[in-house]
Chains A and B, each alone.
Chain A
Amino acid sequence: MNEVFTREGDRIVVDLNQQIRKFLHGLAAAILLGTRDGTHPFAHRLTQPITVTKDEDDPFLVLARHDVIATAAQVLEATAWSAALTLEEAESWFETLQVGSQALAGSFHVAVESDLDRLDPDDRERLRIIQGLLGLLVEVLDEPEAADED
């Protein structure tokens, strides 16, 4: 049973300890930095070209992508200590956690499955936490809305 995220109508109750919330807040802050600072370890994965024949994208496409990523990350940053989320806020958590897992894996130079084996245990644990939370969040976001209690 998913005890971390619980759907209650149009909101999701979050039961996470302060340490994990602090980690998520830091992840969102790092993503925001990665969208603004090209030298940040997250920047490479956040700006990968979408056109296979180009080394870099049209700046407009990069800005459009960073705008969406930054908005979702700001929502997570602002709600990291919330006891409950709206469905829209939970979607932002979903997006930021997934972008964060990619950015983190990119910063660890993880490209194929076997790269995960050589990771420092702490780094592997960070990825595992994000993946675990993503799995639980998908469960609750895709849960059919419960009927209103009369």
Chain B
Amino acid sequence: MVDPLETYPSGDTLTAVALDLPFDVVVWDDPVTLMVVVTRILMKVFGYQKTKAHRLMMTVHQEGRAVVWTGELNKAEQYCVRLHAQGLLATVEPSA
């Protein structure tokens, strides 16, 4: 499993902020969260339709992580806070 804390060096974040580049909100797989719960939280936090939320959930389940939203850093952090408050493992990182 990829360690989210080792995915990007800190310089990338500083560069991305300085250049006003987009950031990804990433949801990570975990061994206790039910798939229906991930889908429901993505619908609730982002207002996604069930099909889109289900597709993203399947990516999390099969690949260990999924980019669920991309955009400006402040908004990405707000979404990430909401995902954590709902009990999902999520991080913000510079968009590839």
Residues of A with Cβ closer than 8 Å to B?
48-54, 61, 64-65, 68-69, 72, 94-95, 98-102, 105, 110-113, 115-116, 127, 131, 134-135, 138, 141-142
Contact = CB atoms under 8 A, between A and B. Distances in A.
A111 B31 contact: yes
B-side interface size class = 20 to 34
A138 B78 CA distance: 24
A65 B31 contact: no
A28 to B, nearest CB: 13
Contact of A52 (B7, B82, B84): B7
A102 B83 CA distance: 12
Interface of B: 1, 4-5, 7-10, 12-13, 30-34, 36-37, 40-41, 77, 80-82, 84-93
B86 A61 contact: no
A131 B33 CA distance: 8
Given A53-B12, A53-B13, A102 B87 contact: yes
A58 B90 CA distance: 15
Nearest to A104: B32
A95 B85 contact: yes
Contacts, number: 92
24 contacts: A48-B84, A49-B91, A50-B80, A50-B91, A52-B93, A68-B81, A95-B85, A95-B86, A98-B41, A98-B87, A99-B86, A101-B33, A101-B87, A105-B30, A105-B31, A105-B32, A110-B32, A111-B1, A111-B30, A112-B31, A115-B31, A127-B32, A134-B34, A135-B34
Contacts of A68: 81-82, 85
B72 to A, nearest CB: 14
Contacts of A113: 31
A64 B9 contact: no
Contacts of B87: 95, 98-102
A51 B92 contact: yes
What are the 4 tightest A-B residue pairs by CB atom distance, in nearest-first order?
Answer: A98-B87, A68-B85, A53-B10, A99-B87
Nearest to A110: B31
A59 to B, nearest CB: 12
Contact of B84 (A50, A131, A134, A135): A50
B92 A138 contact: no
A134 B91 contact: no
A52 B4 contact: yes
